[in-house]
Amino acid sequence: MAKSWRCLDSLPDHMKVVLGVFSVVTMVSLLTLSLLWEDQFGFSSLVFNVVGYGKDPSLSTYSRPVAIFVMDDDDAKPPSNPPADFPPSENISNRFSDGPSPAAAPSPAPEAQPPGSEFDENEKFFSPLLTASVGAGNQLMEYMSAAVMARATNRTLCLPPFFSGPAKHSGILVRARGGLAWEDRYNVLSLARFTKVASLEQCLQQCNYTLDSNVFLKETHEPLIRGFKYYKFANESLNLHWSHVKWQSTNDINTALGNLEDKCVGLSGLFPGLRWRGAFLSVSAFLQPSPRIFEVVNILQNHAIGKGVPYLAVHWRFEESSCPRHQIGLCFSRCKDGSIIDTNFHPFAKEWVKMSEDECNTAGHFRGVGLSKLDIIATIEQRAANHSINTVYLATDGWTRGPEGLALIKESILLLRKGGLNVIGLWSIPGLPNFADGTYYDPYVTMGRKHVINGQQIALVEQEICVRSNVFLGSGQSTWSLAVFRMRLAKRQAAEILGKVWNAESMDLKARDALVSETLLQDRHAAGLQCHYSRWMNVSNVNDTVETYADEFPDGWLDLDACEGRIGNGGRCQVAKCY
């Protein structure tokens, strides 16, 4: 001990001060953490209560939510009017017009209720084993694939909570589990209209905490399994070795998995999931935000945008924009042939035809486009002008990606505002108001003094704002943007389906749901996020139907329009480069 103290004495004074401060901070942190109540957690220097459903006995079968909102009245409920199932069919005929259409304003959502707690003794379950190392957008794609597989095999889908994702995704970390439960993100009742569902706790009880078997869609790491105490490891499980890419219908799924006799089966290796677009559209038509998220979006939309005000929503994603030797936020990766997330939605640029003949030489390099800030601004201005829109909602993580990203976002917003657009968003940038009236976003006051939302919930709120918009521009390679595209496209197509049926409003709800879901499942376009996995998918020829601008209209991809869309029109984009 004496030797240790003599070593400390030999340190310079400034080092002694640093060590002393560090020791005090560490001791205070440990002491104060132990003083927190069991139902509290820390986030961004604030302490939030974990508001559960304990006061509602009808929800007693649910696992305890890990995080929701701080509310003045814990018993406050959203309005109980039934939701609008799908957009009115009469609005669809006008969606190709040049003028703006009314902003989406769904009816208030009902309070989420649990699925039935009584199960037949012969009931069988699928439990998706989500990937802990990816973000919520990827986990949602895993969930959607599992939902279609459960429907195809007439099994009940278990609803485990999401993982919090990698550290690069902003959000919360709760002591034990992290992430948010399904019922905190999405409406359980709405999903139950597509397939049978049960909470994780219900599944654990019905399965006696045992996964009888585990199905791997592809080779992957050993999954992190929560709740279940007894299960088979990867080397003991059924591995489909990517053969699921051949599935193009629920019949194909049932042929492959319908004969499984085990009561409780885990589903692993779910990302990037099923390979035909109809699988994702069919679930997306029944994907609604949770009642609390729904209420927050209503408050924010009315406060920031205005009731009934048409607006363009833009998702400018920075995280994937990390190409070397190019400014963050201005570079986007592509598939080899220039496709956007390989929906076979091809850009009309001759450069791609020539460049795609050769591979990028160095391992890890990829084809991409280098954008200009001015091209992005011109693209947003042009899209808004085409639809006679003056309000732009900008959802972006750019201001969280360091000084360079923050400066780029601030400069772009100021230029757009200077050009006459009303640009709003939830950024936190000194000297840059969030709203048109010159005020700043306050996580408490802005929400009507009823809600405080954290990082993961902000992402859900902004996603729903984008879904409700009149026009949407997304970022290539982002599953967050892809989810918005699919939800908007599914709702448009659902309205078209019902619009062709005489007196559809009087149909039984189950009959309407069956008509919409079965029709959407027939969509044979290739699903998104395929190009990065193509070397493993050579076991089957994935459907190569072509998605068109008519499919996307009135929406588009920001990086496509700002690059290939401006070739010959003053654009500065670098096309088909190897990064």
For the chain, the first-to-last Cα distance in angstroms comes to: 55
Bigger pLDDT: 92 or 317?
317
Looking at the predicted structure, is the pLDDT value of residue 67 above 50? no
Per-residue model confidence as pLDDT tens digits over 103-120: 443 333 333 335 555 788
Rg (CA), the chain: 25
3-state secondary structure of 505: helix
Looking at the predicted structure, is the pLDDT value of residue 363 above 60? no
Looking at the predicted structure, is the pLDDT value of residue 274 above 90? yes
185-to-117, 177, 245, 280, 452 alpha-carbon distances in Å: 21, 16, 28, 18, 15
Looking at the predicted structure, is the pLDDT value of residue 86 above 80? no
Phi and psi, residue 225, nearest 5°:
-100, 125
Q: Which fold has domain 89-101+110-276?
A: Rossmann fold (3.40.50)
CB 246 within 8 A of CB 540: yes
pLDDT band at 325 (very low <50, low <70, confident <90, very high): low
Edge-to-edge strand order for the sheet containing 264-268? 197-199, 156-159, 125-128, 264-268, 213-216, 238-239
Write down the pLDDT at residue 15: 66
Write down the pLDDT at residue 539: 46
Per-residue model confidence as pLDDT tens digits over 218-269: 988 888 898 999 998 887 889 999 999 889 999 999 999 999 999 999 999 9
Q: How many CB atoms lie within 10 A of CB 348?
A: 11
Tell me how many helices (H) and strands (E) the chain has: 17, 16
Write down the pLDDT at residue 17: 64
Residue that has been written with the tokens 């409406």 in this structure = 187
Write down the pLDDT at residue 10: 63
Look at 18-32, 136-150, 224-238, 311-325 and tell me which has the smallest mean pLDDT.
18-32
What's the mean pLDDT in 498-523? 93
Phi and psi, residue 333, nearest 5°:
-80, 155
Q: Alpha-carbon distance 178 to 450, whole Å? A: 24
Q: Alpha-carbon distance 71 to 86, whole Å? A: 30
Write down the pLDDT at residue 385: 97
For 127, the token pair is: 């439990």
- Concatenated DSSP letters for 262-321? -SEEEEE--SS--SBHHHHHHHHTT--B-HHHHHHHHHHIIIII-TT---EEEEE--TT-
Q: What percent of the chain has pLDDT over 90?
A: 44
CATH of 291-578, one of 3.40.47.10, 3.40.50.720, 3.40.50.11350, 3.40.50.620: 3.40.50.11350
Bigger pLDDT: 93 or 262?
262
Residue that has been written with the tokens 């002393």 in this structure = 20
Greatest pairwise CA separation for the chain in angstroms: 91
Bigger pLDDT: 171 or 429?
429
Give strand ranges (E) for 116-269: 125-128, 156-159, 197-199, 213-216, 238-239, 264-268
Contacts of 286 (CB under 8 A, 6+ apart): 190, 191, 193, 194, 513, 517
For residue 226, the 8-state DSSP code is -
Looking at the predicted structure, is the pLDDT value of residue 123 above 50? yes
Write down the pLDDT at residue 547: 67
CB 103 within 8 A of CB 313: no
3-state secondary structure of 203: helix
**DSSP-H helix ranges across 432-525:** 455-468, 479-499, 509-520
Give the residue from 566, 547, 567, 548 showing the smallest Cα distance to 380: 566
CB 144 within 8 A of CB 273: yes
For residue 52, the 8-state DSSP code is -
Bigger pLDDT: 414 or 478?
414
Q: Alpha-carbon distance 517 to 493, whole Å? A: 10
Average pLDDT over all residues of the chain: 77
Q: Alpha-carbon distance 241 to 219, whole Å? A: 6
What's the mean pLDDT in 89-98? 31
Edge-to-edge strand order for the sheet containing 312-316? 422-424, 391-396, 312-316, 471-474, 556-557
Look at 302-316, 399-413, 565-579 and tell me which has the smallest mean pLDDT.
565-579
Look at 131-135, 406-410, 450-454 and tell me which has the smallest mean pLDDT.
450-454
Asked whether the CA dihedral 228, 136, 536, 490 is positive or negative, the reply is: positive
Distance from chain centroid for Cα 290: 14
Per-residue model confidence as pLDDT tens digits over 371-413: 899 999 999 999 999 999 999 999 999 888 889 899 999 999 9
Per-residue model confidence as pLDDT tens digits over 202-211: 999 999 999 9
Partnered with residue 125 across adjacent β-strands are: 156, 264
Give the residue from 336, 345, 396 showing the smallest Cα distance to 576: 336
Per-residue model confidence as pLDDT tens digits over 161-175: 999 876 554 433 333
Give strand ranges (E) for 73-176: 125-128, 156-159
Write down the pLDDT at residue 108: 37
Q: Alpha-carbon distance 331 to 575, whole Å? A: 10
Instruction: Locate CATH 3.40.50.11350 in the chain.
Output: 291-578
Looking at the predicted structure, is the pLDDT value of residue 14 above 70? no
The CA-CA-CA angle for residues 472, 475, 477, to 5°, reads 135
Write down the pLDDT at residue 266: 96
Residues in the chain: 579
Write down the pLDDT at residue 172: 35
